[in-house]
Amino acid sequence: MEEEFRALLKRVRAELVSPAEFAAYEKLLALVRSDTRAARDELAEVLVAPERPLWAREIAAFALGSKGDRRAFETLVLLLNYREPVRCATAAHVLARLRDPRTAKAAAALATNSLRTAYAVYPVRLLTELRAPESVPALLATLERLLAARDHVWPVARACVEGLGILGDRRAEATLVAAREHEKLRPAAIAALARLGRRGVTP
């Protein structure tokens, strides 16, 4: 069992309060451990069954997504933009391994949604990891909007700067130069520009 899944289970157990919840948790773990086609079908039903708790859907989505079962996709995308960063991180981890062709488009939509900017760090990081055609345009659009906004949402802006540096696309150069003018982004922007080959540029 991988470390990320152990961390998920430890977190979920801390949320449980009633004997019924503990029983449901153990039943879910038994399905995950059996890893048969029938068990995976039952886990997929957990994702869409009404009134199932979020923690149950999260465990089922992690288990299915880690096995490459694309039935987990919609739940993982929901969790990728959730209000709790730990759940976003878990979803991003699995989505990066699921290799669903819809992932980059979904992550780009979340990253560029101005109404959900506060939750965009993990979609941005996922786009960086995916290195998809959507990655650079989405990171650029998000960063340019944040640089022009009153509320720069520094963690998201920094993730965009770092991601653009990792992706190494020259289209990002002008925007990274603009980001360098902001004190909180300057170190990351300088490092990103260096990755683009602008090592001779001074801060």
Tell me the per-residue pLDDT of 71-110, one tens digit each, with 9 for 90 and over: 999 999 999 999 999 999 999 999 999 999 999 999 999 9
Whether the pLDDT of residue 1 is over 70: the answer is: no
- Mean pLDDT for the stretch of residues 169-174: 95
Q: What pLDDT is stored for residue 8 in this prediction?
A: 94
What is the pLDDT, as a whole number, of residue 51?
85
Between the CA of residue 148 and those of 1, 85, 131, 143, 186, what are the distances in Å? 45, 25, 25, 9, 16
In this prediction, residue 201 carries a pLDDT of 43
| pLDDT band with cut points at 50, 70 and 90 for residue 35 | confident
Q: How many whole angstroms separate alpha carbon 134 and alpha carbon 149?
A: 23
Of 189, 170, 193, residue with least CA distance to 181: 189
What is the arithmetic mean of pLDDT over 32-40? 93
pLDDT mean across residues, the chain: 93
- Amino acid identity of residue 173, one-letter, is E
Cα angle value 166/73/51 (rounded, 5°): 135
Question: Rounded distance, CA 77 to CA 71, Å?
Answer: 11
CB-side exposure of 174: number of CA atoms within 13 Å? 3
Neighbours of 154 (CB within 10 A): 12
Terminus-to-terminus CA distance in the chain, angstroms? 46
Whether the pLDDT of residue 202 is over 50: the answer is no
